Structure 1
């Protein structure tokens, strides 16, 4: 199948890959790598293997995007199901490739050519798979898809109108407290109505992952989860220390912010339907229509740098964004990469709230990074690990501050305050999600009720302001059931917290010297995944987020700035 590398996304050619044919080609090249007489022959084999794997990834990502845009599309729903069932087998290819790399007589020269991170990735990845896991991985994919599809097809009835989980959000932030109470109640009633199904999906996934870990010789899923996240330079001990620093230095600030919010909006205590309502005259909203937000983004990225201006136009011209919320669309936002077209893709659910700008700038950061490192080889280096990848996205939210007046008009100052406050308030929640996962996978036989009780206890430690007393579903400790990452990407959440500490540093550097801060950011983007998380942090001239004292120092500066904005 011939591809036009300049095509627009609607014209991207999709064809289900012939995995038998692809595997035969892969195995032939793998034999050449194993028998390579010279380093040049070995390098050529690595590049050919990259090409084969990229072709399969291209088909998968085209399918995934089109399925996400409309989960009701029968063709792409069937194709997504096929990938869920068949992609796990390709893990065996990847592991055989990694074994060949590790055993190659040209390993030293290959490491000099491609860097040590490829071999660190290979070594860790080999601890995550064996062929006996293929059926388990298929079942894992199926469970995540069931959860995604359930939420994507949500129909929430309120006052004679039907909403999705994305389109009801503006009502959940309405100025009228009674309106937002009824909207939030309707949203969480829908979750409660599906509680048994959601808890069954998660229970099956936890037990499945525990079983996979035991087959690989692990005591439980925690070390396997870390290895699957390719964490080569820190582990659970460092993360536990980080979470404790958040409890010491961030939770008290966040609680002060919530208390100020309650006073500001005139309530004695924040109920679950008040938490996202920040200002008495309404939250900041983008000015105008979605097209105005796009115009403001174009102006922002033209002014930020020639690279970002040209790149935003590429996204527009090749239709590499789907931004508006609509029926049948999967919830959330993401950026993925269609390898053979050299094309990042941004997916979002615009609903007229400030979150539209948050997600657009956040996912633009991901997209700019992968586009900047698209020439990195091998393909493992197109993306960094999730922890490092979130530095690009969360830092881009801060680099986008010059565009805030155009995005929000008279609401600009409200946005500056709410964005910075939200960045602080997120850290306790993100740590609660991470600690919850440790507890869940250390106790795989817990019942759903025991998991809910554990979440409720963590809320009391990290988020004591929450009041769910008037909602029977949430009062059980079930808020976690709305968090997509828990179902599909275990242990992917503390990454946002680590990256947030790095993003705060870029914000501070940008205030002092934009030219220097932007140069460091671009270098970080171009490096892709060629270094580990801490290696990339050092390369970008950032401080290690695990370093004692850094969180306290950053929290003090942020708190001072929030006082100025208040």
Structure 2
């Protein structure tokens, strides 16, 4: 297969809606379990094909946001998505009401029924227009980000391409590059404020129309948080604030000393060593080949997976003009394959993509037995376990990417994973504040971000940048705009991934790979806590769940003479 040649055809929306209506009636009329299963399989095929078409269009739009055809298709799916969801809701209602649920369990895994119940609460005809507006606003944000053209030392860069200069070993260079980067957000601050203000009001209207107190309350249904609630997250948030923030402060002090500075400015935070951060050695093609070698040595299944990704052109890796920012992995049911999107820019992030996004893709590759296609991935926080754990599982092969800089990479990566926890909690806490205060002005939102930032990231010194000191950092975080409340998931997964880090790299536990594989294959057929049980892992919501791994991480970092890196 060559993914670039996979045909795309916009489905006949009316025909799909009619088939959904017919499937709903057939499910309601099913005379026995066998008949219900027949209908379910037909609906799985219909929805898999429809979802796949939407994914292919979205992928090709993000590859080149200037492509007029796929921009039009993106607009179509922004409108069609909520309509299809509302039509599917009637079918889901019939499934949940079926007296043949036991028979349907042969087609649909347990989480499907849980998600179906949540979808029925959310996908109502009364909010279709509002959902369409929210989709259009997300596309507007994405286009604004992709439009960035930064003038830097006689050349033009987008937000991804300027990344290496922002973390350059030369302090003057990184200060200038960061000024250019954040200058874009400051110059377009009014646009970001307007888009987000409309998003908050639109999402709040969705929540209240559906009978929720606010969009924050709705988010726990939308994100399918089956095994935990907001009170448990608040406790977890407190654990991070009290136990992780002090560890990060300790690491920041060591970082400043390594850089020969009395304190770190905001543009110093991304630079770990005076000699510069570890950079991958080799061209993008050589990095891909190093990854192929790594996965073949890791396990036969991993090697087979990566060969498939390369040979089938399922990797879209290079940063280029007009391309959407960020990175992601998707699973496309119609071709039973994952797809990886990234923006290589010559930094260690390129290698992280080949482990993080490949961790996602590998999980779906192993779980492609699951139907329907939207159950191949587990819920969001569980899905991130596989990507973040793969970053740690890959540690023994990092010399293939970094050579003599491997020790620098591992130290910086482990520190960065520690630093991420408070930031991830900050993003989640900020969104809860915003959506429980939907009438806030843009200025009040920025003030809230800055207040929380001082709580979770007190190491950030913006004294040389008044715009950041006012609280505009969050404008670069696409999740806040495009996938609200999808962020605490990363932190939950990170805490779980630490357990795999410890088992693979400290304890050298021979059962760790078996457990990782078992969880990956189970995928979306299990809930978060069920997957943790499958993998013999501890729940991050248990009191003191962070303690042992945090101690191990700190011991590991303290054992390194970082002055020699």
CA deviation string 1:264-296 (max 9, x = no partner)? 101122111100011000000001211221121
Structure 2: distance between partners of 1:95 and 1:497 = 31
Q: Offset at 1:133?
A: 0.6
Structure 2: distance between partners of 1:124 and 1:476 = 38
Structure 1: distance between partners of 2:371 and 2:237 = 35
Aligned to 2:548: 553
CA deviation string 1:509-554 (max 9, x = no partner)? 1132453111111111111111211121122111000111121221
Aligned to 2:205: 211
Structure 2: distance between partners of 1:205 and 1:342 = 34
Q: Does structure 1 retain, via aligned residues, the 8 Å contact 2:23–2:91?
A: no
Structure 2: distance between partners of 1:190 and 1:514 = 47
Q: Does structure 2 retain, via aligned residues, the 8 Å contact 1:233–1:532?
A: yes
Q: Does structure 2 retain, via aligned residues, the 8 Å contact 1:125–1:230?
A: no
Aligned to 1:407: 401
Aligned to 1:516: 511
Q: Offset at 1:126?
A: 1.5
Find 2:452's aligned residue among 439, 455, 458. Answer: 458
- Stretch of structure 1 that moved more, 531-540 or 321-330: 531-540
Instruction: Please state whether the residue corresponding to 2:358 is helix, strand or coil.
Output: helix
Structure 2: distance between partners of 1:113 and 1:146 = 38
Q: Offset at 1:332?
A: 0.4
Q: Does structure 2 retain, via aligned residues, the 8 Å contact 1:299–1:403?
A: no
Aligned to 2:354: 360
Q: Which runs of 4+ in 1 moved over 4 A?
A: none
Structure 2: distance between partners of 1:21 and 1:536 = 38
Find 1:246's aligned residue among 234, 240, 251. Answer: 240
Q: Offset at 1:142?
A: 0.5
Alignment of 1:19-58 (within 5 A): 19-58=13-52
Q: Tell me, which stretches of 5 or more residues in structure 2 are unaligned?
A: none
Instruction: Please state whether the residue corresponding to 1:473 is helix, strand or coil.
Output: helix
Aligned to 1:260: 254
Q: Does structure 1 retain, via aligned residues, the 8 Å contact 2:366–2:521?
A: yes
CA deviation string 1:328-387 (max 9, x = no partner)? 110000001221011110000000000111122100011011111111123342111110
Is 1:530 equivalent to 2:525 in the alignment? yes
CA RMSD of aligned residues (A): 1.1
Q: Does structure 1 retain, via aligned residues, the 8 Å contact 2:332–2:373?
A: no
Structure 1: distance between partners of 2:285 and 2:475 = 33
Q: Does structure 1 retain, via aligned residues, the 8 Å contact 2:204–2:214?
A: yes
Q: Does structure 1 retain, via aligned residues, the 8 Å contact 2:107–2:371?
A: no
Find 1:61's aligned residue among 55, 65, 77. Answer: 55
Find 1:132's aligned residue among 117, 123, 126. Answer: 126
Structure 1: distance between partners of 2:314 and 2:425 = 33
If the length of structure 2 is used for normalisation, what is the TM-score? 0.97
Instruction: Please state whether the residue corresponding to 2:511 is helix, strand or coil.
Output: helix
Find 1:93's aligned residue among 70, 73, 87. Answer: 87
Q: Tell me, which stretches of 5 or more residues in structure 1 are unaligned?
A: 1-6
Is 1:9 equivalent to 2:3 in the alignment? yes
Structure 2: distance between partners of 1:436 and 1:13 = 41
Q: Offset at 1:226?
A: 1.3
Q: Offset at 1:252?
A: 0.4
Find 1:389's aligned residue among 365, 383, 389. Answer: 383
Q: Does structure 2 retain, via aligned residues, the 8 Å contact 1:373–1:526?
A: yes
Structure 1: distance between partners of 2:106 and 2:22 = 25
Aligned to 1:296: 290
Q: Offset at 1:111?
A: 3.8
Aligned to 1:507: 501
Structure 2: distance between partners of 1:426 and 1:359 = 16
Structure 1: distance between partners of 2:31 and 2:510 = 47
Structure 2: distance between partners of 1:116 and 1:345 = 26
Q: Offset at 1:123?
A: 1.6
Structure 1: distance between partners of 2:41 and 2:257 = 60
Q: Offset at 1:507?
A: 1.2
Is 1:372 equivalent to 2:354 in the alignment? no
Structure 2: distance between partners of 1:564 and 1:67 = 47
Aligned to 1:478: 472
Find 2:162's aligned residue among 154, 168, 174. Answer: 168
Q: Does structure 2 retain, via aligned residues, the 8 Å contact 1:346–1:363?
A: yes
Aligned to 2:299: 305
If the length of structure 1 is used for normalisation, what is the TM-score? 0.97
Is 1:177 equivalent to 2:176 in the alignment? no
Q: Offset at 1:115?
A: 4.1
Structure 1: distance between partners of 2:309 and 2:224 = 29
Instruction: Please state whether the residue corresponding to 1:345 is helix, strand or coil.
Output: strand
Structure 2: distance between partners of 1:137 and 1:165 = 28
Q: Offset at 1:113?
A: 6.0
Structure 2: distance between partners of 1:557 and 1:212 = 44
Q: Does structure 2 retain, via aligned residues, the 8 Å contact 1:382–1:529?
A: yes
Instruction: Please state whether the residue corresponding to 2:525 is helix, strand or coil.
Output: coil
Instruction: Please state whether the residue corresponding to 1:282 is helix, strand or coil.
Output: coil
Structure 2: distance between partners of 1:14 and 1:515 = 44
Aligned to 1:4: none
Find 1:273's aligned residue among 267, 271, 274. Answer: 267
